[in-house]
Amino acid sequence: MNLNARAAGILLAFVITGVSSQGAEVTQTNRPVPNEEGRYRSALLFASVVELIRDEYLELEKTDYDKMTYSALRGLLTSLDPHSQFLDPEHYKMIRTETEGQFGGLGISVGMVENQLTVNVPIEGGPGYRAGLLPGDRITKIDGKGTQKLSLGESIRLLRGRPGVPVQIAIYRPSESKTIELSVIREMIQVPTLQETKMISAAESQGEKIGYVRITQFGEKTGKEFDGAIGKLEKDGATALILDLRDNPGGLVDAAVEVVSRFVPKGTLVVATEGRKAGAKRQEYLSREAALRVRWPTVVLVNGNTASAAEIVAGALQDLGLAVIVGETTFGKGSVQTVQRVDPSVIPDVGVRLTTAHYTTPSRKKIHGVGIQPDVVARLTRAEEEAIFQKRSPGLKKSSEEELEVNDEPLDRAIDLLRGWKVVKRRAVSDRSS
């Protein structure tokens, strides 16, 4: 049988078995219907190249059909966007385990910056945080394997694993121009999502009662933790709020909706998803009944590492006129990924993680690739960011024995805004009384 005949045979198998995760209509012949001409041509091209490799490539052991197909599909999904990926049986099983919460990791959010695997945020209290990882660190090796040619999904799979098992990583820290090697033991990541609740000191606020809450990620308990924090601030006499979402990589959308529900009446639009398919055109997430309502003037702090669910909260409060956003433009991670299983009659236990929709704010502003624009721009230098991070992390080695001096301009701007609002309000009340 010549190459073209074998390729046609592969194509016929593709068409008859209906290789589709969506149950697309298939035909029982190798003759394409007119509106599927492009589909037929692409499948024939793929099959022809596979057979050419099988016939001519030097190392026969690398030409296994499944291995070549999986490699091709990985490249195909990765070419769409950084979040879509093909899941072979091993990785599909891992995704299912991950969904059930039975995986260990380092407690870090990572992404690709200039095609390099980069730490976005170490989750406070997690093993990566305790080991001294900082935002902006470039992970160059994982267990001796270079990350330069790995996709984001492949890198994450190498970082994750059974709790209690160490992983060796090499990082390059641009701010110090040095490479550091670390051994970090994987753990089940279960840390509080709300890390800090306090009153701004009287010296900083000049006597105004300003509360401060910092949420580091959004999880199942965030709503209850937020209620507890607001209750504490109420007892302390707070009359204004700073909600710090800087370096918050996101988390559960439901948790973001829960937090916004503390600011708005039940049934208020918080966020929506918009997809391409008719059945997924638009799904709205509405606020829920909440026993607690925050009615204080509020400032939300954000930066370039504020992502996903954190952007949903910032965008909703900004759109609804309930908060002033201070800081830098957020990360812009506002896409929805769904894990879909490929037809098991073709090959069992493979799937795809596919971007199927994107989030929009209540006014239908797109988040993905754009981010939330702050109302007031306030930035930190890299050195200032590291100083703040180290001050929050008493276990990290300091650059000197002296107490770190921390300049936090975004926080200062937030305090100034709330102080100004209180002064204006008091003057307005005084004018009405006179």
Neighbours of 221 (CB within 10 A): 15
Q: Rounded to an integer, what is the distance from CA 189 to the centroid of its chain?
A: 16
Which of the residues are catalytic? 308, 319, 333
Token readout for 309 is 């669910």
Token readout for 404 is 């770190």
Neighbours of 224 (CB within 10 A): 12
CB-CB contact of 67 with 80 (8 Å): no
Please tell me the distance from the alpha carbon of residue 288 to that of residue 276, in angstroms, as a whole number.
27
Partners of 169 in beta bridges: 142, 182
Is residue 320 classed as helix, strand or coil in its secondary structure? coil
Neighbours of 389 (CB within 10 A): 21
195-198 CB contacts, 8 Å cutoff, 24+ apart: 195/124, 195/125, 195/392, 196/244, 196/392, 197/228, 197/229, 197/232, 197/233
CB-CB contact of 343 with 19 (8 Å): yes
Q: Rounded to an integer, what is the distance from CA 52 to the centroid of its chain?
A: 40
What is the chain's percent helix, strand, coil content, to nearest 5?
35, 25, 40
> Could you tell me the sign of the dihedral formed by the alpha carbons of 200, 203, 204, 205, in that order?
positive
CB-CB contact of 123 with 184 (8 Å): no
Please tell me the distance from the alpha carbon of residue 48 to that of residue 43, in angstroms, as a whole number.
9
Find the distance separating the first CA and the last CA of the chain, reported in whole Å: 100
Q: What is the DSSP letter of 403?
A: P
Backbone angles phi, psi at 253, to 5 degrees: -65, -40
Backbone angles phi, psi at 333, to 5 degrees: -100, 95
